[in-house]
Amino acid sequence: MKAVEEQIISTEYSELMQKSYIDYAMSVIIARALPDVRDGLKPVQRRTLYDMYELGIRYDRPYRKCARIVGDTMGKYHPHGDSSIYEALVVMSQDFKKGQTLVDGHGNFGSIEGDGAAAMRYTEARLEKITQEVYLADLDKDVVDFGPNFDETEKEPLVLPVRIPNLLVNGADGIAVGMATSIPPHNLCEVAEAVKAYMKNSDITVEQLMKYIKGPDFPTGGIVVNKDELLQIYETGAGKIKLRGRVETEKGKGGKTNLVVTEIPYTMVGANIGKFLNDVATLVETKKAPDITDISNQSSKEGIRIVLELKKGADVENLTNMLYKKTRLEDTFGVNMLAVADGRPETLSLKQVIEHHVDFQFEVCTRKHQNLLARELERREVQEGLIKAVDVIDLIIEILRGSKSQQQVKDCLTMGVTEGIKFKTKASEKKAKNLMFTQRQAQAILDMRLAKLIGLELEALMKEHQETLKKISLYEDILNNYDSMARVIEKDLDQIKKEYGRPRRTSIENAQEIVFEEKKIEEMDVVFLMDRFGYAKLIDMGVYERNKEAAHGDYKYVFICKNTDKICIFTDQGQMHTVKALDVPLCRLRDKGTPIDNLCNYSSAQEELVYIGSLESVKQSHLLFVTSKGMAKQVDGMEFDVAKRTVAATKLTEGDRVVLVQPADAMEYLVLQSRQGYFLRFLKEEIPEKKKTAIGVRAMRLGQEDEIAHAYLLESRMEYAIDHGSKKLVLNKLKLSKRDGKGTKVRG
């Protein structure tokens, strides 16, 4: 056996990567993420609907388990995992996401508030009536092309023969590679009228089309407030739609007023409803909306109903404006009308979407009527053969009785071949030689039952023939005349609109920009308290003055600050976390407070608090930093006036940690104590000022395995003693040395 010669092909790596990436990107764009402009469906949606059609799960038949549908779709057409198929199935059944639901779900299919659907083994589904009659009808009439599935064992439609512009009616969203699509849903009746207008005048402009399509029509209702910007969005296929929820006022108990949210922006569907409730609660807690006394979500299957109970005499207009400004009750919907058109992704204008749809409809209609015409022509041929056969039925019976096989009969009927057939008379044989039926007619004659010769049956055959001739004439007219075909499509649209259309739910208007004047917070002194367990709170100055001794006795950290200030938390990991004083609850002295971990990014489980103080006091001083490896520096407090909630307060080497952070301006000496019992006292001014990003200078030379355990800043006039072993050690009396010394060993 001859060995195969080895062949090495040299390829530029960058070219290979580029080609592979482009192939991958196009595969994701075309075969997974983007909808086709013709049927407005992504491949997973198309395959799921077609599979349900193939399984016979029609709207007038029993529901079937979703697990069966998902498994069948995955096995036959969509080999990308069951979760993506089930998710597509669920979304197609949710009336709060789709302008027109395509799947009739039975069971828990999720909620508008973001609850997920039950597992596919529990839920059931079937096709909606509109899906069967508008999306999947005529698949048996060769109206669309079919292609092989992934393993070439089945055929699947490359596009569904959808008779409405589904891309507009249901919208679309999808993330591909380097591009994304986001198309809002529209009103079926308006879209149908726009299609009819385009068919009457193909030179119609987007502005003229917008006389029919006013704008998006979201299933959640709401208000589109930038009407004047819609024209540009529909002309370019991209832009931002401003949405607002609908807020109404109701009379509450005791002459009070309630604000009721009855419709939400489409972008709030899901977890954002819960976030809205949390945002309102935060506004109340932070005293920005003190007029709101209670929030309740009374939403049900009937619709959204979020009730905000207000105090008597509350400023309703200002509160409504606050909700629009401070929560997602006013939001933007980013439009990017990207779809696959002619096999490639393209951003389309409103007119282009309708243009592609109409072209597709004419193609589908042409193929449908060509198929119907071919069927009627076959029927006419057979009918004419049978009518002609009735006139010579005695001769045909004679041929049948005198023949030895069906083929002999067929040859005689189609070509007049009489050899081998016994005739009663020569005249009959002569007549038989003149027979000229077609093959199809001959087969129909052979299949004909004697009952067809009854007078009434003959009459019915003649009547049926007349109907066939009328249909042929009609189909030929439709195929040969643009206006006739357009009328058929229009009639279809009118029928669909009549049966499935619904009134518009979203209002389109030009609303003024919301003006909300936030009440200025009255600045005042408060006292910050935090116990050893990390529970923090603020108390009034009056309460503090009356309970000063108890406050300092029970709490680890106590300092005065402004309610408009920030609290700075320095940790042993070199981080500084900030929290607004307004976020710290203002409580009574005996109230527990809130864990500081819940108010900022500080985590007591991962880092240790070294110093806490108000930003104002930090800015007015120099902070002295000392680390366990003996590094030290002074930092101007102004460097810590930052917008971020967490910043690096100092730079640390690997394995190092901060031991001391303290305002140093009023201090004169620094005392360092090592684990092995060495003490070093020197003047604070020997520590240079550095940036917060610097490591600092060495303050003490440490022995092997030794580290700084404690650091103390001392005033010159004040005596400071610590417990060291079994005796008291007065730090002020330690020998005064220089920075970067080894220190003196002190026995405890």
Do the Cβ atoms of 472 and 373 come closer than 8 Å? Answer: yes
Q: Detail the DSSP E strand segments found in 459-586.
A: 507-508, 525-530, 535-540, 557-562, 566-571, 575-580
Catalytic residue among 21, 59, 122, 482: 122
What is the distance between the alpha carbons of residues 530 and 595, in angstroms, rounded to a whole number? 9
192: nearest Cα among 216, 173, 171, 168: 168
C-alpha 123: how far from its chain's center? 22
Is 544 a residue of the active site?
Answer: no
| Helix 82-91 × helix 66-76 angle, to 10° | 120
Kindly tell me the sign of the dihedral angle through the C-alpha atoms of 314, 320, 326, 329.
positive
Instruction: Judge whether 191 and 114 are in contact, CB under 8 Å.
Output: no
State residue 430 phi and psi, 5-degree precision.
-65, -40
> Residue 264 carries which side chain, given as an amino acid letter?
I
Beta-carbon contacts of residue 502 (< 8 Å; ≥ 6 apart): 187, 188, 189
Distance of CA 659 to the CA centre of its chain: 47
Q: Measured in whole angstroms, how far is the alpha carbon of residue 95 from the centre of its chain?
A: 15
Complete edge-to-edge strand list for the sheet that includes strand 678-683: 708-714, 669-674, 678-683, 744-745
- E-strand ranges in 439-565 read 507-508, 525-530, 535-540, 557-562
> Which residues on adjacent β-strands are paired with residue 669?
683, 714
Task: List strand residue ranges (DSSP E) for 54-131, in order.
Answer: 64-65, 103-106, 124-127
**430 vs 77: CA distance, rounded Å:** 61
Q: Which residues, listed in sequence order, are joined to residue 64 by a DSSP beta bridge?
A: 125
In sign, the C-alpha dihedral spanning 67, 68, 71, 76 is negative
Pairwise CA distance, residues 717 & 533, whole Å: 34
Amino acid identity, position 392: V
Residue labelled with tokens 């819609």? 230
Give, rounded to a whole angstrom, the gap between the first and last alpha carbons of the chain: 92
Parallel, antiparallel, or unpaired: how do β-strands 507-508 and 223-224 relate?
A: parallel
Sign of CA dihedral 392, 396, 399, 405: positive
- Active-site amino acid positions: 122
